[in-house]
Amino acid sequence: VAERVTRDGFLSTANARDVASIAWAYATLGIKNRALMGALARRTLEEGFLDTFSAKEVGSTAWAYATLDLRHETLLTALAVQTLQPGFLSTFRAPDIAYAVWAFVASGVKNESLMAALADHSLQNTFF
């Protein structure tokens, strides 16, 4: 699967759900395929692509890279910027917050603004 996904422009047609799902699946299986994860990161970082991500896709993608111990600071920074866009954080549910917080802590990528915003959002919502 990874070989097919990383060649012939396959990812150029992938949407946010595809990218997040592939990353999540490989991380869940513990398969650390650097070529695949690099290709997924490049697709995610294409101009305007992150604007199509949901909170779940942001959290799952961050979680996948951290789970595989792939510290991709550029990607995580871009995910943080997306999360901090006006109105975006309000779409986060408890699991999305947990994935994002754990991913940033586990990766060692510090973003105080993101952590503060996630904490504030958590305190303001009951999620029930």
Model confidence over 105-123: pLDDT tens digits? 999 999 999 999 999 998 8
pLDDT grade for 127, boundaries at 50, 70 and 90: low
Closest CA to 46 of 15, 23, 83: 15
Based on the number of CB atoms within 10 Å of its own CB, is 90 exposed (0-12), middle (13-18) or buried (19 or more)?
Answer: exposed
pLDDT grade for 54, boundaries at 50, 70 and 90: very high
Model confidence over 24-51: pLDDT tens digits? 999 999 999 999 999 999 999 999 999 9
Burial letters 10-34, b for 16+ CB under 10 A, else e: ebeebebebbbbbbbebbeeeeebe
In the predicted structure, residue 128 carries a pLDDT above the cut 60? no
Hey, what are 62's tokens? 């961050």
Q: How far is Cα 51 from Cα 85, in angstroms, rounded to an integer?
A: 9
> Between residues 7 and 64, which one has the greater pLDDT?
64
Phi-psi map region of 14: left, alpha, beta (phi>0 left; psi -120 to 50 alpha): beta
Q: Percent of the chain beyond pLDDT 70?
A: 98
pLDDT grade for 3, boundaries at 50, 70 and 90: confident
pLDDT grade for 78, boundaries at 50, 70 and 90: very high
- Concatenate the DSSP letters of all residues of 69-119 into one string: T---HHHHHHHHHHHTSTTTGGG--HHHHHHHHHHHHHHT---HHHHHHHH
In the predicted structure, residue 16 carries a pLDDT above the cut 80? yes
